[in-house]
Amino acid sequence: MRPFKFRLERLQKVRSAEERAARAEFAAALGALTCREVAVREALTRRDEAREELRHILAEGNAASAFLTAQRVTDRFDAVVEETERERLLAANAADQARSKWAELRSKEEGLSRLRDARESEHRREHERMQARELDEIAMTRATGNGNHADHSSATTTLTS
């Protein structure tokens, strides 16, 4: 019998390569999301520090110009926080899209793997059936060659009185 050949082997290799690339894209997107989350935390920390400084200026009763300067600085930090949060949301969306693409390609690759396994199992069963038939034929040929016919008819016996 001929050896097993999966006719979709090339497609499976292509899908496997696509899945690896999608997994790498997803990992990169997760890395970018992590960086954006760190940037948001840093921006929040800087904003909180600026607000605390503004509270000190207000508590000390410093000049109005110092207050306005501190207010402008906190406003800038608010804008930085908003911008980094927008970037984080974009990175999160990109990560979700990359995850979806990877999951889709992964399921296609797994489907091909299951199909390959099923075909290989079917091929193996057919091969075993063919070997069993050949063994049966060999056994029948040997039985007839030795004069041992496989005639199972009932023998008649005669009684003499």
pLDDT digits (tens, 9 = 90+) for 103-148: 999 998 898 889 889 988 999 999 999 999 999 999 898 888 776 5
What is the domain extent for residue 73? 9-112
pLDDT of 63 > 90? The answer is no
pLDDT of 161 > 50? The answer is no
pLDDT of 57 > 50? The answer is yes
Looking at the structure of the chain, the number of domains it has is: 1
Domain contains 131: no
> Please, what is the average pLDDT of the chain?
85
CB 116 within 8 A of CB 7: no
Domain contains 149: no
The Cα–Cα gap between 7 and 9 comes to 6
Q: CATH no. for residue 46?
A: 1.10.287.1700
Domain contains 160: no
Domain contains 15: yes
Domain contains 155: no
What pLDDT is recorded for position 158? 52
Domain contains 152: no
- 155, exposed or middle or buried, with CB in 10 Å at 0-12, 13-18, 19+? exposed
Domain contains 50: yes
Nearest to 11 by CA among 87, 100, 154, 108: 108
Domain contains 69: yes
